[in-house]
Every structure is written in structure tokens, then in C-alpha cells.
Amino acid sequence: MAFRSIKGTKDVLPADTHRWQHIESVVRSVFQRFNYKEIRTPLFEQTALFSRSIGELTDIVGKEMYTFEDRSGDRITLRPEGTASVIRAFIQNNLAEQLPLTKVYYIGPMFRQERPQAGRLRQFHQFGAEAIGSPCAEVDAEVIAMAIEVYRTLGLRQYSLKINSVGCEKCRPLYKVKLQEELRKIAPQLSADSQRRIDENPMRVLDSKDEQDQKLTADMPLINQFLCEECSLHFSDVQRMLESFGITYTVNGRLVRGLDYYTKTAFELTSTELGSQDALAGGGRYDLLAKELGGKQTPGVGFAAGIERLLMVLEKTGYPFADSDHPQVFIAAADDPARAWTIAETMRLRGAGIAAETDLLRRSLKAQMREADRQRALHVLVVGERELVEGKAALKSMQDGTSRMIPLDAIALALTDTST
């Protein structure tokens, strides 16, 4: 039996890659406008990097990581997200010494063994950014604004931004105790997952997708009533700045997100164009993460966004993706004696910077013309023995059907002359 790709992974086929490239180029240009530089970290890291940062009790670490022992017995994990690796690289390479604020972005695959469904894959792709080194609310606002700018640039209108503050090491413990007290009263009625979380990670119970859990916890106290003065001020600063940027949002006191390392700001962007997996992007502040990973205490904030889900929304809303690239010229051989020349000339044109194609299957002229059409070549040049003797041939524009005679030693010039 022929091999098949692994469940939850997808090929991006040649007919679709230009869509990916377009999204990636928009992401890069937006990030560049905000002065973020690309960072590329390895696709696999020590398992402990992720379990330490994301949190042992999270779904990602508990159930979803692709972890294996390599041949030397080291525990390795395919990265399930980007932030931990970026912070590891930041610490390891002393980036803090180069700039007081490190602004980086990444684009690439992430791996989680989730149950595949529409918008949920096991190898999926994210673009994301991290700003490391500032505790100030302006960075939270900038990062949120930058995420939104990507969607705006792509013409997306149907999204909503939810924000929350999940507090800090000063105020969160008090809230946790209060929440645990309340949750213990209804523990037996909660889902098994939520019961498990009461002791270690009670805030995630509020984030449960289980309907019964949601009903039972509807009136639970929320973190925003417990924020310390610093967190409270920070949160209102973030909101004020978002308003000054013209960004609309709602505060959702139940938003905690699935990773343990967040402090203060947490946010999520969702799209009404997506089904149950409606999150486009999520992020937040992580002031304790660098220290947790063995570095100096360094505040940071970032976000990550799914490319597959963005693509789904764009396709659903009929985004006008430009066509993929077409050859500028297709050089067809009218007879066998001309073939050696058509191939050599195609190579010369490519060397001169022109996207040129020719027949590599020794087909009839008719079949070559069909091929030029299928490739949507902008021009076709038909060359046979006679044209070679005369030193000129007809260059046909496939857009308007017109032809003109051009000298065979100046094809590149003729092609650049025509406005293609």
C-alpha cells in the first residue's frame, strides 16, 4: 500500500502555496513596520523546557506533546508553541545585553497531538511575536495592535478581541484560594478534568469547554475583582492605549488561556467565520517566564496566531488571492531541429532574470500550445527551423492575442519592453 501522511498533518500542494506565501509576506511586512526581527529556533528542544514553562498540568504538556527519547537517551519534544524556545534562545544568547527591549517574531510549524478536526491539526503553523524586556503596558498594547494589524491588512473584519488580566504572583494566590474554596463546594458535579484542576490550576476550571462546568461556575468570583493595585493600573493602561489606537475589545474575566506562564494581560482574538475552533490568535504577558527558565527576571509579552485558521477565514470570505506566478514566456519548438535551440534559449532567458518555460516532453506543437495555455504563460514564442534561419519569430501575447515579429537575439529586451 502507498504511504499516507500522518493523521492531523497536511500537504500544502503547489496550487496552494502562493496563498501561504502571501500570508507570510503580509505577516513579515506588518512585523517589519513594527520593528520586530525574525528569530528561527530549532523545531525540537529538551522536553523539560516545555514542561517547565507551559506547565505540567496543562493539556499541552499533559496530553499533547510529541515527546521521545533520542538514541542517546535524551528526552526531546517537538515544539508545541514558540514562546518557550524564544525565551530559551534569548537567555542562552544574552540578547538582553544587546538591546533593552528585544522584539522578535517567528513563523513556522508547531506540533500537538490533539484530536484532528476542522481547524485543528497535529502539525499546524503559527506566526507569533515576543517583546522581551519591558514591564510597561505600552508593549502589551503594541503587541495586541500588531496582531490586529495583520488581520486588518488582510481585510478581515469579523473578529473580536477579548482581554483580561490574570494577575501576578502577589494577587493571584489570594484569588486562587478563594476560587478553590468555591470550587470545592461544587466539586462532585464538575467534569473529571475540572475536578483535577481545582488543586493545582483552579483558574482553568473557569475556562472549561464543558457546558455543565460553565453553568456551575457562572457566578464564581473572577480574577479582576482581586487584582492588586499594580495589576489593576497596568490593565487600565492597556485598555486606555488600545482605545487610543481605535481598537475595540471586550473584557472577559474568564479568559485564562491554556498556558501557565501568563501574568497580567491575557488576550484572545476569535473569528465568527470559524466553527468551534474559533480562536485566531492568543497571547499575553509572561513576566516570570525568563526566571523560571533559568535566566534573570525579565518581563515579556507576546502572541501566537494560527495560519491554517486564518487561511480558512480568508478562503471563506472570498479573499482575492493573486494568482500564483506564471511564466513570462513559453518557448515552443515548431519542429525537432529547433528543440536544442529552444532549450538553450530558455536557459539563457532564465539567466537573464526572465521566468521562461519550454517543452520537456518532446510533444507536438499543438500539445505545446495547450501546455502554454494551461501554464497561463503571458507570451508564447514559436520557433522552428525557418525562424532560426531568418533570425526572427512571432511573439504572441496570450493576454490580448496580438503577435509581433521580434529578433531572436533580443527576446529578453522584447519581453521587458512589453508591459507584462
305 binds ligand AMP (CB under 6 A): yes
Dihedral, CA atoms, 305, 162, 37, 86, nearest 10 degrees?
-70
- Confirm or reject binding of residue 281 to ligand AMP (CB under 6 A): yes
Nearer to ligand AMP, 81 or 387 (CB): 81
> Rg (Cα) of the chain, in Å, rounded?
28
Of 289, 293, 297, 304, nearest to 92 by C-alpha is: 293
Residue with smaller CB distance to ligand AMP, 60 or 332:
60
Beta carbon nearer to ligand AMP, 50 or 226: 50
* Residue 413 CB partners (closer than 8 Å, separation 6+): none
282, 261 contact by CB (below 8 A): no
Residue whose C-alpha cell is 507584462:
420
306 contacts ligand AMP (rule: CB under 6 A)? yes
Name which position in 220, 247, 279, 394 contacts ligand AMP (CB under 6 A): 279
- What number of other Cβ atoms are within 10 A of residue 157's Cβ? 10
- Binding flag, residue 292, ligand AMP (CB under 6 A): no
Kindly state the smallest distance separating residue 60's Cβ from ligand AMP, in Å: 7
- Residue 137 within binding range of ligand AMP, rule CB under 6 A: no
Distance CA(389)–CA(289), nearest Å, equals 73
Residue 296 class from Cβ within 10 Å (0-12 exposed, 13-18 middle, 19+ buried)? exposed
Question: Segment contacting ligand AMP (CB under 6 A): 97-105, 111-119, 192-200, 204-212?
Answer: 111-119
Which residue number has the CB closest to ligand AMP?
306
- Residues 345, 363: Cα–Cα separation, whole Å: 18
Nearer to ligand AMP, 255 or 411 (CB): 255
Do residues 280 and 317 lie in contact, with contact meaning Cβ atoms separated by under 8 Å? Answer: no
User: With contact defined as beta carbons under 8 Å apart, do 265 and 249 qualify?
Assistant: no
CB of 281 to ligand AMP, least distance (A): 5
Separation CA 349–CA 36 (nearest Å): 37
314 near ligand AMP (CB under 6 A): no
- 121/370 Cα distance (integer angstroms): 38
Establish if 106 lies at the interface with ligand AMP (CB under 6 A). Answer: no
| Residue selected from 90, 124, 127, 175 as contacting ligand AMP according to rule CB under 6 A | 124
CB 376 within 8 A of CB 323: yes
DSSP annotation string for 131-170 = EES--SHHHHHHHHHHHHHHHHHTT---EEEEEEE---TT
One residue of 133, 167, 258, 302 binding ligand AMP per CB under 6 A: 258
Q: From the CB of 331, what's the least distance to ligand AMP, in Å?
A: 43
Nearer to ligand AMP among residue 112 and residue 176 (C-beta): 112
Binding-residue total with ligand AMP (CB under 6 A): 18
Q: Is 90 in the site for ligand AMP (CB under 6 A)?
A: no
| Of positions 19, 52, 88, 112, contacts ligand AMP by CB under 6 A | 112
Site string for ligand AMP, 199-238 (x = CB under 6 A): ----------------------------------------
Q: Is 304 in the site for ligand AMP (CB under 6 A)?
A: yes
117 vs 236, which CB is nearer to ligand AMP? 117
Nearest to 132 by CA among 91, 81, 80, 82: 91
CA pair distance 130, 184, nearest whole angstrom: 37
Q: How far is the CB of 259 from ligand AMP (least distance, A)?
A: 7
Of 55, 282, 300, 302, the residue at the interface with ligand AMP (CB under 6 A) is 282
Which residues are at the interface with ligand AMP (CB under 6 A)? Answer: 81, 112, 114, 119-121, 124, 126, 258, 279-282, 304-306, 308-309
